[in-house]
Amino acid sequence: MVFFTASGATSGRVNLSPKGMDAFRVLSSSTAGYLDMTGSASETSAHMLVDNRLTFMFCSFGPEPLILRLYGSGRSIRLPSEEGQASAPTFAGSDNELLPGARQLIMMDIDSVQTSCGFGVPVFGSGIERPQLKKWAKAKIRMGELEGYWQERNVISIDGFPTGLG
């Protein structure tokens, strides 16, 4: 599954990020979220500390054209926290493990839902998950370098906002 998350602070850039893997969960009719993986930055989490507006967007890349947007208020939950530990099993895979490199949960209280046609979205066929992120994260974990990477690359956003990961 591919989805996109969009967030912004009161100043600076609006961030739009593609997401994938088995990370998204609908928890109730008014709550959804995803398991956030380690990446080169942590813009969404920085934006959640400044202005919690958040959008999730899903596009059908198959034969049926459809776009779904969820609008709401977002927040980050650190996995080591009590709330993170309580919520983590919901985001575990079929092996009851979190994806390697998972750093936090991004949760949304849904305010509104919108669907629209996806007539301009192309049909794609492969749907094959890329193995690079899992491989990279497993190597960082094995070498004890994942948290150091977070401190080096994920503590401050590209606009200078703290991410809450420090």
Domain count, the chain: 1
Instruction: Check if the beta carbon of residue 91 is closer than 8 Å to that of residue 40.
Output: no
* Residue 166 confidence class, pLDDT cut points 50, 70, 90: confident
- pTM score, two decimals? 0.91
CATH number, domain containing residue 29 = 2.30.110.10
pLDDT tens digits, one per residue of 30-63: 999 999 999 989 999 999 999 999 999 999 999 9
* Residue 19 confidence class, pLDDT cut points 50, 70, 90: very high
HEC profile of 19-33: ECCCCEEEEECCEEE
Round the average pLDDT of the chain to a whole number and report it: 95
In a domain, 161, yes or no: no
In a domain, 89, yes or no: yes
pLDDT tens digits, one per residue of 104-140: 999 999 999 999 999 999 998 777 888 999 999 999 9
Query: CA triplet 22, 33, 46: central angle to 5 degrees?
Result: 110
In a domain, 159, yes or no: no
Question: CA-CA distance, 152 to 154, in Å (whole number)?
Answer: 6
Nearest to 77 by CA among 57, 49, 53, 99: 49
Expressed as residue numbers, the domain containing 30 is: 3-153
In a domain, 90, yes or no: yes
In a domain, 166, yes or no: no
In a domain, 165, yes or no: no
